[in-house]
Amino acid sequence: MTSKELAEMMQRSPADCHKALVREYGRYVYAIVYNKLRSCGTNEDVEECVSDVFADIFMKCDIDISAEGDVKYLISTVAKRKAIDSFRSLTARAAHMTEADDDDMKELVSDFSVDEQVDRSELRRMLLDKIAELGEPDSTILIQKYYYNRNSKEIARSVSMTAMAVRTRCSRAMDKLRAKLVESGMNV
C-alpha cells in the first residue's frame, strides 16, 4: 500500500483505511514488536504494543501524499521505536518489582518442601491402608489412639470394651502393624 493509496482511502473512509492498514501490516508489526519484547514481555504486552503502534500511526502521523513510496518504512520505524520504548518500560518495571519482591520473599520463606509433603502423604496413605488391613476393632482403636489422641477409657466407650481390653488390643495391633509394615518394605 503506497502513501497515496492510504491518503485517498483515508479521505473516503477512515475506518476502512484503518482496517486495511491493520490487515496488510498487522503481522509485520507484530513480528517487529514480538522480536523486541519476547525476552521481557508477555503476549498481552506484545499485543498492547502492537495496538499502540497502530494508534500512533492513525493519530500522530501525517501521510505525505506527494510521496509515492511504500508506507512500510514509516510503519516499521514507528513499530521499532514503540517496541523499544515498551522494552525499556517493561525491563525497568521488572527490575523494580524484583527488588520489591526480594524484600517480600524474605518474609515468606518457609521450610515447606513439595517433595517432602508428597512423601509424607504417601507414607500416611500406606500407613492407613495397613491399619485398615488389621480389621475391626484393631483399626478403630489405633486410629482413635494415635490420630485423635484419645485415651483407653474414651476408646473403650466407643468400641464397647473395657479400658484394659483396649490397651491389650492396642499393643497387639501395634505388633501386627509393625509386621505388616516390615513385610511391605518400610523400616520401622
- For 101-118, the pLDDT digits (tens) are 555 555 555 555 566 666
Res 68: pLDDT: 59
Q: Which fold has domain 3-108?
A: Rna Polymerase Sigma Factor; Chain: A (1.10.1740)
The more confidently predicted of residues 62 and 75 is 75
Look at residue 135 and give its three-state secondary structure. coil
User: In whole angstroms, what is the distance from residue 60 CA to residue 77 CA?
Assistant: 13
Report yes or no: 18 and 54 within 8 Å, Cβ to Cβ. yes
User: In whole angstroms, what is the distance from residue 32 CA to residue 53 CA?
Assistant: 11
Residue 23 above 70 pLDDT? Answer: yes
Res 65: pLDDT: 47
- For 133-157, the pLDDT digits (tens) are 888 888 888 888 888 888 888 888 8
Domain spans in the chain, listed from the N-terminal domain onward = 3-108, 114-183
Report yes or no: 145 and 155 within 8 Å, Cβ to Cβ. yes
Res 164: pLDDT: 92
Domain 114-183 grouped into CATH 2.60.40.740: no
User: In whole angstroms, what is the distance from residue 48 CA to residue 45 CA?
Assistant: 5
